[in-house]
Homo-oligomer: A and B are copies of this chain.
Amino acid sequence: MDYKHRFIEDHKRIDPYIHCTPVMTSGLIDEKGGCSIFFKCENFQKMGAFKMRGATNAILQLSKEKLARGVVTHSSGNMAQAVSLAAKSIGVPAYIVMPENAPSVKKQAVEAYNGNISISGNNISDRQQAANKIIAEKGCAFIHPSNDIDVIIGQGTAAKELLEEIPDLDAIITPVGGGGLLAGTALAAEYFGKNCKVYAGEPINADDAYRSMQSGRIEYNDHPDTIADGLRTNLGDINFPIILKYVEEIIRVEEEEIVAAMRLIWERMKIIIEPSCAVPYAALLKQKEKFAGKKVGIILSGGNVDLTNLPF
């Protein structure tokens, strides 16, 4: 299916609710990478991450009747904040299922955006069950963090904006966790790029997407032990076929490579990015020869970190 028209329409529709984030560059970062890098700063997006785009897009697709009943998601991370803030901006109630072990700072952020929190058990079936209960009671719509075409297109608008600003990119690299950002970016590059290839960076300690690309079916992580906390999840049946068709390659990186890339971006670019967000630049440094002399876009996915618990 061709989503190009939907991309254009949806981007217009979400535009009043999101920031068109800046594109930043750094001479030293380019020098180390051996290419020209254009960072799309979604760490400066509302609520601090690209997830605001997908959440807003998914909510705006609902009918008026559906909207009035509100939306629900389960998340301990950025999607909880994204759905809360998007719902607040649009003026509908948001119900957020958060696991018992979610950090209190994340709960406070959701409350600040007027999200109604329900606490569930920590595993995924507890969380889904708690969400289903709310859906049954309130009749509200479930917003999936990554495996939903509206969410995928919403996340892809970051790459669309980047290509509008730098049209002749040879490549774009994103992180890959649940697959929404990667699939959306791959579609955006297909529709709005000029032979722009899409790559992803993934922690070797949570390399389910890499293995899925090898085997041709969705693989899972048993014990995803990585500092890149946004990338511990697995792909879904809606985003995986898009990734399989349009993504060039997934490049795996070690934990220390992630921390080193994160530190370099903090020190040299003076911007705050979360560990997941450093993975694409770490991937570029790992396979420099692939990008030598090229124009490369990197989606800096988010900047929500706990400043009292940094890896350096």
On A, residues with C-beta under 8 Å from B are 22, 24, 43-44, 48, 263, 266-267, 269-273, 303, 307-308, 310, 312
Shortest CB-to-CB span from A262 to chain B, Å, is 10
Supply 14 A–B pairs (Cβ within 8 Å), ascending by A.
A22-B22, A24-B44, A44-B269, A44-B270, A263-B307, A266-B272, A266-B307, A270-B272, A271-B271, A271-B272, A272-B272, A307-B310, A307-B312, A310-B310
Asked if residues B307 and A267 are in contact (CB atoms below 8 Å), the reply is yes
| Complex Cα gap A265–B43 (Å) | 13
Each complex incorporates copies of this chain amounting to 2
Known: A43-B270, A44-B269, A267-B307. 4 other contacts (CB 8 A): A24-B44, A44-B270, A270-B272, A310-B310
Q: Of all chain B residues, which has the CB nearest A262?
A: B307
The interface residues of chain B lying within 8 Å CB-to-CB of A267 are: 307
| Complex Cα gap A27–B270 (Å) | 21
Shortest CB-to-CB span from A25 to chain B, Å, is 10
| Complex Cα gap A263–B307 (Å) | 8
The interface residues of chain B lying within 8 Å CB-to-CB of A263 are: 307
Shortest CB-to-CB span from A29 to chain B, Å, is 13
| Complex Cα gap A310–B310 (Å) | 10
Shortest CB-to-CB span from A104 to chain B, Å, is 15
| Complex Cα gap A266–B267 (Å) | 13
| Complex Cα gap A273–B22 (Å) | 18
Shortest CB-to-CB span from A7 to chain B, Å, is 26
Q: A307-B310, A307-B312, A312-B307 are in contact. Are A270 and B270 (CB under 8 A)?
A: no
Shortest CB-to-CB span from A272 to chain B, Å, is 4
The interface residues of chain B lying within 8 Å CB-to-CB of A44 are: 24, 269-270
Ranked 4 nearest A-B pairs via Cβ: A270-B303, A270-B272, A43-B270, A307-B312
The interface residues of chain B lying within 8 Å CB-to-CB of A22 are: 22
Which of B270, B303, B307, B308 has a CB less than 8 Å from the CB of A48? B270
Shortest CB-to-CB span from A113 to chain B, Å, is 11
| Complex Cα gap A22–B269 (Å) | 13
Q: Of all chain B residues, which has the CB nearest A26?
A: B44
Shortest CB-to-CB span from A28 to chain B, Å, is 9
| Complex Cα gap A266–B22 (Å) | 17
| Complex Cα gap A312–B263 (Å) | 17
The interface residues of chain B lying within 8 Å CB-to-CB of A273 are: 270
The interface residues of chain B lying within 8 Å CB-to-CB of A307 are: 263, 266-267, 310, 312
